[in-house]
Amino acid sequence: MTDSSSLCYPLKESAQERIVHAAARLARRLHDGQVDKAGVDYFSGHLTTVASMGSTWEERVVGYLHDAAEDTPHTVDEVLHMLAEEVGTPLPEECVARLADALRLLDHHASPDRESYITAVGTCPLATRVKLHDLTHNMDLSRLSSPTRQDLDRLERYRREYDYLSSLY
């Protein structure tokens, strides 16, 4: 599922890597002290795993930041402003717009229910790719020492969502 035709303004590889590294530093700060369901540091466990699945710099940036508006007191606009500060230079408007669109769609608090949320994510190829990475990691129950009935039920929901999103592009 490559969407290179709609990549934001072409940036040099060095600029792309600076943005990815800045996103990682920002995500580490924003999620400091948070742990996942297995008790693993949220940044080094979940966020780094999701980001590492990205095949483009944008997917890696959104992978690091996909839960920032959901799990911290910051809005998407605030997160992107902090990202630009972390990079040390304003990001091209086209990039900010693409990243903002994906990050807004990936904030499930902005949707009335889970089905609307997944349907909305599916309207944006960048958000869809990152959500597929997120679901892939979330479906790995080997991270949990003793999966509960609730974990198994969630796994079934994740599989349905994964199948739906992967069928779109």
The CATH number of the domain where 142 resides is what? 1.10.3210.10
In degrees to the nearest 10, what's the CA dihedral of 75, 77, 78, 82?
140
Residue 142 in this model has a pLDDT that exceeds 70: yes
Cβ contact 84:104 at 8 Å: no
Tell me, yes or no, whether 87 lies in a domain.
yes
pLDDT-derived band of residue 6, with 50, 70 and 90 as boundaries? very low
Higher pLDDT, 13 or 20: 20
pLDDT number for residue 9: 59
Instruction: Give the number of other CB atoms < 10 A from CB of residue 155.
Output: 16
User: If you ran DSSP here, which 8-state letter would residue 41 be given?
Assistant: B
pTM: 0.92
Tell me, yes or no, whether 94 lies in a domain.
yes
Tell me, yes or no, whether 74 lies in a domain.
yes
The residue segments making up the domain with residue 48 are 12-166
Tell me, yes or no, whether 27 lies in a domain.
yes
Tell me, yes or no, whether 2 lies in a domain.
no
Tell me, yes or no, whether 24 lies in a domain.
yes
The mean per-residue pLDDT over the stretch 82-98 comes to 95
- Give the whole-angstrom CA distance, residue 87 versus residue 35: 26
Residue reference for tokens 């129950």: 141
Question: Domain total for the chain?
Answer: 1
For 84, how many CA atoms within 13 A lie in the half-sphere containing its CB?
15
Tell me, yes or no, whether 1 lies in a domain.
no
Tell me, yes or no, whether 18 lies in a domain.
yes
- Say what percent of the chain tops pLDDT 70: 95
